[in-house]
Amino acid sequence: MTDPTRASRRILGIDPGLTRCGVGIVDVDRARRGTLVHVGVVRTPVDAPIGERLAGIAAGIRAVIEEHEPDAVAVERVFAQQNRQTVMGTAQASGVALLVAAEAGLPAATHTPSEVKAAVTGYGSADKKQVQAMIARILRLDAPPQPADAADALAIALCHAWRRNAATAPEGELTPAQRAWSDAERVARTYIRARA
């Protein structure tokens, strides 16, 4: 159960994958400052049956939720890739993450990779190194979290926390990345309305 006296929101970000499922938890206060709570990777052996691998991912996510008591869960949305097997594994891990969140009674959302990159770096096509560098800077870390799945999980958590607050925060209080995201959303809404 989450702590109602906590001054910040605690978000669990999940970068789904069968072999490596990144999990990262951040506390984000009212000024949208992020603090690292936990980061890690749930690993499963590639030669194990698919059911065992999914059960392992579920158990790892449950353990993180029980230990750190997040307020919400954010999962990277599956997107089309050329490798169909990779997409299937990612989709299965994503479904498990959303199921575990629902079992725990936590609100859950999904965000596309470009949404996450835009929220964290201000640029929706940023590469992995740029995301990792920004995560280290935002969370005041000495070095980017490794492997990349761990940094991605933290980026997903920050994206969720910042997107939730961006709509209601005064413009002057947004970070540069949040302002870029807010501007991109406005442009997209205008474009959609113009085409309707």
66 is in an annotated binding site: no
Helices (H), ranges, the chain: 50-68, 84-103, 113-121, 128-138, 148-166, 176-195
Alpha-carbon distances, residue 94 vs 14, 23, 61, 167, 186 (angstroms): 8, 12, 11, 26, 29
71 is in an annotated binding site: no
Burial of 22 (0-12, 13-18, 19+ CB in 10 A): buried
149 is in an annotated binding site: yes
CB 123 within 8 A of CB 130: yes
Neighbours of 75 (CB within 10 A): 26
Catalytic residue among 27, 76, 115, 152: 76
In the residue annotation, 47 being an active-site residue is answered as no
In the residue annotation, 69 being an active-site residue is answered as no
In the residue annotation, 29 being an active-site residue is answered as no
Q: What are the strands of the beta sheet with 20-28, ordered from one edge? A: 34-43, 20-28, 9-15, 72-76, 108-111
Catalytic residue among 15, 27, 71, 115: 15
Give catalytic residue positions: 15, 76, 149
Point out the annotated binding site: 15, 76, 149
Binding-site residues from annotation for Mg(2+): 15, 76, 149
